[in-house]
Amino acid sequence: MPHLWTGLGLIMDYPLIRKLNSEMTCLECGKVFYGRPDKKFCCQQCKNRSNHRRGSLMYNRHFALMSALDANYKILEGLLASNATAISMDELKRLGFNTFVVTGHRRADHHEQYFCYDVSYFQTPGKIFGITRQHRELPLSENP
């Protein structure tokens, strides 16, 4: 049996130490390394790189969603400003409306009601109608 204190290589070969330090594959670079069973990355640089990429993906998804909601809201605001309460789906899509992003949904009577912040509308395959602002004044502050 190798002596424990003759060098790091021998320590790593000692069966008990080897058991505590499992063979792992780095989730970032794919390199095989030895470490605690819960360790995911071979080094701090790989851990940082992975966290950065995950943060960027989340930011990009969030930004795309918020942009689509903002665009929908502007379209609905424009319709409300011109007193339009209904519009065909073709025209809506031509304006750039994205029917897949909403801030809320509920089944109301026999229609599907969708919300884009404080504006609601009913949707059928051919049109949206009943475009309405839910609240005239939003409580934008806890202390008005």
Specify the residue, 46 or 76, whose C-beta has the smaller distance to Zn ion. Answer: 46
Q: Is 28 in the site for Zn ion (CB under 5 A)?
A: yes
41, two tokens? 């990355």
Q: Name the residue nearer to Zn ion (CB basis): 50 or 113.
A: 50
Per CB under 5 A, does 29 bind Zn ion?
yes
> Which CB, 38 or 137, lies closer to Zn ion?
38
How many helices and strands in the chain, by DSSP H and E?
4, 7
> Could you say whether residue 80 binds Zn ion (CB under 5 A)?
no
Kindly indicate which of the ranges 42-50, 68-76, 105-113, 118-126 contains the residues binding Zn ion, using the contact rule CB under 5 A: 42-50
Q: Establish if 42 lies at the interface with Zn ion (CB under 5 A).
A: yes
Compute the least distance from the CB of residue 63 to Zn ion, in Å: 28
What would the x/- binding string for Zn ion be over residues 7 to 26, using CB under 5 A? Answer: -------------------x
**Which residues bind to Zn ion, rule: CB under 5 A?**
26, 28-29, 31, 42, 46
